Amino acid sequence: MSEMPSRTPIVAGNWKLNLTVGEALALVKALRAEADGLEGVEVVVGPVATALHPVAGALEGSSIGLAAQNTHWEDRGAFTGELSPELLKDVGCTHVIVGHSERRQLFGETDEGVNRKVRAVLAKGLTPILCVGETLAQREAGETLEVVLGQVEAGLEGVEDASAVVLAYEPVWAIGTGKTAKPEDAQEVHAAIRGKLGQVAPRVRILYGGSVKPANAAELLAQEDIDGALVGGASLRADTFVPIIRAALPGG
């Protein structure tokens, strides 16, 4: 048998609508002191759009990546209030979070629009972090895999190499609620996602998101098909984010 390719885990912080420029820079300074250059884990932070440029400067020369929380699929034009992958790359982004459940639920994003964003991000050489996940009602109706695998398929439509995309499974009912999927339940969904990816599956990194905290990170990240975490609230402080990063280290 050929050896399974190793997947470097990713721990990404989605800061959502939090932190001024000054607060963001203070957090980056603390993260650089404790998490810069760690071997065996990739670290990414996702500030608000107004902090992207200064944070990019503060991260210069570090191993920590920079994610935007959203994008538009067109490069430029009459799209008031939008930011394109071209502009995000220009400001120093390496990653873009696409299709987060809050974008889908609160701002009406569709599978088709999410897919257009994924392809636009890839076209600029950036890494999309494509979020998928089911609501509580869908979970209770037994529709988890149908919903999640449908979102994966739609999000990757027309993508030539899915290993260029990072997937993030975020059960909607676990985001910001304090509820977390049991490690074995999360693993089941991650395994199903990997099973749908075909030949490229061993190279695709699939993150778990949904109330990830230092207390539950190690158990979640120990699962075979969980390749890191997309972290919300716990990513806003170094003393809660760094332990999650360390939990993703080989042997962590």
Helix or strand or coil: residue 206?
A: strand
Q: Which of 100, 109, 134, 190 is catalytic?
A: 100
Q: Buried b / exposed e across 19-56, counting CB within 10 Å, b at 16+?
A: bebeebbebbeebbeebeebeebbbbbbbbeebbbbbb
Q: Which of 42, 109, 134, 170 is catalytic?
A: 170
Q: Identify the H or E element spanning 26.
A: helix 21-35
User: Would residue 19 be called left, alpha or beta, if left means φ above 0 and alpha means ψ between -120 and 50 degrees?
Assistant: left
User: Residue holding tokens 């392809």?
Assistant: 119
Q: 48: closest CA among 11, 93, 104? A: 93
User: Residue holding tokens 């939008």?
Assistant: 82
What does the alpha-carbon distance between residue 6 and residue 250 come to, in Å, rounded to a whole number?
Answer: 11
Active site residue 53: no
Parallel, antiparallel or unpaired: strands 65-68 and 127-132: unpaired
E-state strands within the chain: 10-14, 42-46, 65-68, 95-98, 127-132, 166-169, 206-209, 228-231
Active-site residue set = 100, 170
